[in-house]
Chains A and B, each alone.
Chain A
């Protein structure tokens, strides 16, 4: 399914901020406005300690903002209970982590199928969908390899396939090339660009200006403040 450009924005921050209660209170994310439309490739760049993690956690529904309204696919997340937030996270957001978070004993296809357990995909359909996702990331030939026997680049591509298999509205990547050498990183970034080209909405959080430049649009975060940066390279 290719997301359409119509409909509400994927991410809509309306004065969203997160202040850790003190004393003294620590504002990790100052109230911000942000809009990511369907099909956009946005990078969020900032040095370590700038509030990138907080932004990622709030956007990924892993943490609740203390103020403002965050709408994901037009759904006001503040009004949701924990079960609904979990459901929204599992169904609408695909996560890609710096450290991959694969289960080492399982094969590539089993790792991808793990994402289908909680979304209630019928068991008999899972393998075909997982294979399809692995084909999309160019790993069709390594499907039955154990994750522990794969290279870093392969692991990250498995993780991307796992994020894609549920057809999320948003691919949320946290330093996706942080653990990869430059050649492998280049291939992963190329893959992300391909996904963007096919209509996927991407938000990549990174400290690396080189990675940030790959996005169609870049948002700078510094001291917990979001500011629109220069438009793509």
Chain B
């Protein structure tokens, strides 16, 4: 190994060139860092914060948008709304078959489906009384909604008292009503054991249930709900009476909404599937990327600023180290180090500092994301593609920061350096 290497086309070197092995390079850089641990710790602070911010921002954005899409998944993503939109309203017939609910619930993926509309009871907003009208009760302005029994299931109605109407009430046109929580409070009805009555105009209805809460169509809480057939019999079919056009609300299984959106018109009217306007929730994936892009940009800019500050810190410390260690640089040159060996050493030192900041920063970022998720009872979402390269970003920052100090180190004349 002591032979001078001979390369074709070149005269043999008089002496074997000096080298600086990779292991030695890493050893020397590590030793230099460990020689001043306090300074190294302070130096990496900027990079640490930058990388921590980077990981935390991306992690929190992913976690938060995961939550947002989970919420959409739970509610909106399972909601399909079918509206009648005939080409020529004047000649259009009754849009929904009588067994619409049954047809839809037969579809795989439908949990509940129900028809609803606001019937025209004569007045613009009907007055609802808790006592027979004419006894001095001023009445309350409440929405009256006609609904098929499936609608109560489709809005996930939870009852505070009593129960909802069912297909028997629907079939027989029973004059029963279900009150939303707010409507019941305004009418002063809290219990249904005595079978209290409410009056819509002059028509009496027996209150059989009070809804405590719904998960969608919150306006239901301020409504008086009556069975659809009862409403049709009293106030006429929805189209003819000029009220709000009836709509179909479908509650689907998770992930089935888009499929049901395609199938529902065919199931309802195989002869005219095109007459319906179907509203399905947006694709959760598209939603998620949208949220990510919005939230991420600002905070990533912040993380970049932190990294820049970190780079300046490393550059400053490394430059100070170069000036302090002039004697050492001269010694190394005397021992056979070439300019590039000196530069490589200082670059490795600054890259090490950056890597250290990157590693601790990435760890802190992960801790921050997990802690936040735990506190909020969220599921922490960390993309491997953002967490794993984070320490490398730190190392790269350090490497770039070390360029100028390393160049300065190569400019130091050994003669000058050894004079001290």
In the complex, are the beta carbons of B341 and A87 less than 8 A apart? no
Report B-chain residues with C-beta under 8 Å of the C-beta of A60: 334
14 A-B pairs with CB atoms under 8 Å apart are A62-B414, A75-B14, A87-B18, A90-B334, A90-B335, A90-B336, A91-B15, A93-B334, A97-B331, A101-B328, A105-B31, A105-B35, A106-B31, A118-B332
In the complex, are the beta carbons of A91 and B415 less than 8 A apart? no
Give, as a whole number of angstroms, the nearest-CB distance from B25 to chain A. Answer: 9
A-contact bits for B258-274, CB 8 A (1 contact / 0 none): 00000000000000000
In the complex, are the beta carbons of B16 and A95 less than 8 A apart? no
Please give the number of chain B residues whose Cβ is less than 8 angstroms from any Cβ of chain A in the complex. Answer: 33
Complex alpha-carbon distance, A103 and B20, angstroms? 18
Q: Which among B13, B28, B331, B418 is the interface contact of A87 at CB below 8 angstroms?
A: B13
Give, as a whole number of angstroms, the nearest-CB distance from A30 to chain B. Answer: 19
- The residues of A with any CB-CB pair to B shorter than 8 Å are 53, 57, 60, 62-63, 75, 80, 82-84, 86-93, 95, 97, 99, 101, 103, 105-106, 114-115, 117-120, 123, 162
In the complex, are the beta carbons of A120 and B18 less than 8 A apart? yes
Closest residue of chain B to A159 (Cβ to Cβ) is: B331
Q: Does B420 contact A (CB under 8 A)?
A: yes
With A62-B415, A63-B415 as given contacts, are A86 and B328 in contact (CB-CB < 8 Å)?
no
Q: Which among B24, B334, B341 is the interface contact of A62 at CB below 8 angstroms?
A: B334
In the complex, are the beta carbons of A91 and B336 less than 8 A apart? yes
- The residues of B with any CB-CB pair to A shorter than 8 Å are 1, 13-21, 23-24, 28, 31, 35, 327-328, 330-339, 341, 414-415, 418-420
Q: Which among A53, A95, A123, A162 is the interface contact of B23 at CB below 8 angstroms?
A: A123
With A63-B415, A103-B328 as given contacts, are A119 and B18 in contact (CB-CB < 8 Å)?
yes
Report B-chain residues with C-beta under 8 Å of the C-beta of A115: 335
Q: Which among A53, A82, A87, A95 is the interface contact of B334 at CB below 8 angstroms?
A: A95
Complex alpha-carbon distance, A93 and B1, angstroms? 20
Give, as a whole number of angstroms, the nearest-CB distance from B413 to chain A. Answer: 8
In the complex, are the beta carbons of A120 and B13 less than 8 A apart? no
In the complex, are the beta carbons of B16 and A91 less than 8 A apart? yes
Report A-chain residues with C-beta under 8 Å of the C-beta of B336: 86-87, 89-91, 118-119
Complex alpha-carbon distance, A87 and B16, angstroms? 7
In the complex, are the beta carbons of A87 and B335 less than 8 A apart? no
In the complex, are the beta carbons of B18 and A118 less than 8 A apart? yes
Complex alpha-carbon distance, A109 and B335, angstroms? 16
Complex alpha-carbon distance, A118 and B331, angstroms? 12
Complex alpha-carbon distance, A97 and B338, angstroms? 20
Closest residue of chain A to B28 (Cβ to Cβ) is: A117
Report A-chain residues with C-beta under 8 Å of the C-beta of B327: 99, 101
Complex alpha-carbon distance, A53 and B28, angstroms? 30
Report B-chain residues with C-beta under 8 Å of the C-beta of A103: 328
In the complex, are the beta carbons of A118 and B415 less than 8 A apart? no
4 closest A-B pairs by CB:
A90-B336, A118-B336, A118-B18, A101-B331
In the complex, are the beta carbons of A101 and B418 less than 8 A apart? yes
Complex alpha-carbon distance, A195 and B333, angstroms? 24
Complex alpha-carbon distance, A97 and B332, angstroms? 13
Report A-chain residues with C-beta under 8 Å of the C-beta of B28: 117
Q: Which among B15, B24, B333, B335 is the interface contact of A75 at CB below 8 angstroms?
A: B15
Closest residue of chain A to B337 (Cβ to Cβ) is: A118
With A87-B336, A118-B337 as given contacts, are A97 and B18 in contact (CB-CB < 8 Å)?
no
Q: Which among B21, B331, B337 is the interface contact of A86 at CB below 8 angstroms?
A: B337
Report B-chain residues with C-beta under 8 Å of the C-beta of A97: 331, 418
Known pairs A90-B18, A120-B16 / 16 extra A-B pairs, C-beta < 8 Å: A62-B334, A75-B15, A80-B14, A82-B338, A84-B17, A87-B13, A87-B336, A88-B15, A91-B16, A97-B331, A103-B328, A117-B28, A118-B19, A119-B336, A120-B1, A120-B19
In the complex, are the beta carbons of B14 and A84 less than 8 A apart? yes
In the complex, are the beta carbons of B14 and A62 less than 8 A apart? no
